[in-house]
Amino acid sequence: MKRVISLILVASVLFGVLSVNAYAADQAPRNREPFIFVHGLNGWGRDEGIDGILPYWGATTGNLMEYLQGEGYECYACSVGPMNSSWDRACELYAEITGTTVDYGEAHAKAHNHRRYGRTYTEPLVPNWGQPTENGLQKVHLIGHSFGGTTIRTLAQLLKDGSAAEREATPAENLSPLFAGGKGDWVKSITTICTPHNSSTFFYPAKYTGLLDLAVFLCFLYASIAGRIDLLSPLVDFHLEQFGLTNTPGEHDALPLTNMIKWYFSDSDDFAHYDLLPENMVKANEWLEINPDIYYFSYAYSATNKVGNLQIPRLTTNPVLFIPCFIMGVIPTFTDKKSGYEITAESRANDGIVSLPSALYPWDEPHTDFNADRITKGVWNVMPVRAGDHGTAIGLLANAAVTHALYDEIAERLVSLPD
């Protein structure tokens, strides 16, 4: 078994090296601002060995990054904590792009009882990000699927305003540039795909039946075990070293496994599943503000057909998502008195994970239906709803030509945006 795993890892590494070399052979990319792709909950990026076997971006239709690179675009599939909070993921994303050490913040680390610093990235993805060039300031385009959309919104917010709590808790000479703010113009556009901007109706039945707590516990238990096994950790990287739940890459610094049990039952709220709860997404949207200097686009999918007042899954829906898709399609309408979160008949349409209205735009921010002749900054340009489920959007059990056409469309639009 060890030999099989080793061969898989070697093949994945060689596959990645060949891909990088092929891309390096290209001349000037078509996009002056690189495309930064960010995966969703329980996903992975280019740094994980599994991406060479089943790429997150492209999935069963092939490696989407290679396809776009072949089309002449500079793009990167970033790796952030698959179960980490949007704050932690944003800090990890910033460090990966800038080639620095992950700094979760002095105040944040103390509040959530974990280490302030994470891993170190020795090479930046975008060496001159935020620096003046002969063509103007070097910016990036951020593209996020599912919770990746929340992650890039969080990064954009921190770049713009930083964190007052971190500035207060940290001497200026020891403060991460991310928390200083004043970088709102470093991002040219944000594109979200199937993002639960306003949570999802599925969290209500999942939470009240205890399924959510069980799933979270099993996920962290599995991550804590796999993150200690040298042969497995390169295959899937859980980025939980700040809690001591997994080894930092190249180290053996994970805390005893019993610490995972203690941590879980300490009611920690610094992870993705907590962020995604309806009442917490309401709070998050009060903090996350739209940036008037950024172009915003959102894509939403629906895997259901309307039958009376209900929404029934299409037969083409991914079998794994069929049951949650059905549950969300028949969920009773009500208003959560605690958070004010309202479930209406329209909320029943979904992609198997995210309610359709939630994926369109954050409800407290300006939005408009997409019009190619009138694309403005500081407002969500909402694309027409596409047929398919949560995985269709990234090529899982999808048609390769349709998947490539979607990302060709996204890439061409982003490249053509005026300054």
Question: Which sequence positions are flagged as catalytic?
Answer: 146, 351, 390
The CA distance from 64 to 407, in Å, is: 8
Bridge-based pairing of strands 295-299 and 187-193 is: parallel
The CA distance from 305 to 303, in Å, is: 7
Residue 294 — φ and ψ, nearest 5°?
-115, 140
Q: Which residues are CB-contacts of 231 (< 8 A; sequence separation ≥ 6)?
A: 2, 5, 6, 9
The CA distance from 232 to 252, in Å, is: 14
Q: Could you identify the residue written with the tokens 């993921």?
A: 89
The CA distance from 337 to 206, in Å, is: 18
C-alpha triplet 314, 382, 344: angle, nearest 5°: 55
Q: By CB neighbour count within 10 A (0-12 exposed, 13-18 middle, 19+ buried), where does 295 fall? A: buried
Half-sphere exposure of 284 (CA within 13 A, CB side): 26
Q: By CB neighbour count within 10 A (0-12 exposed, 13-18 middle, 19+ buried), where does 310 fall? A: middle
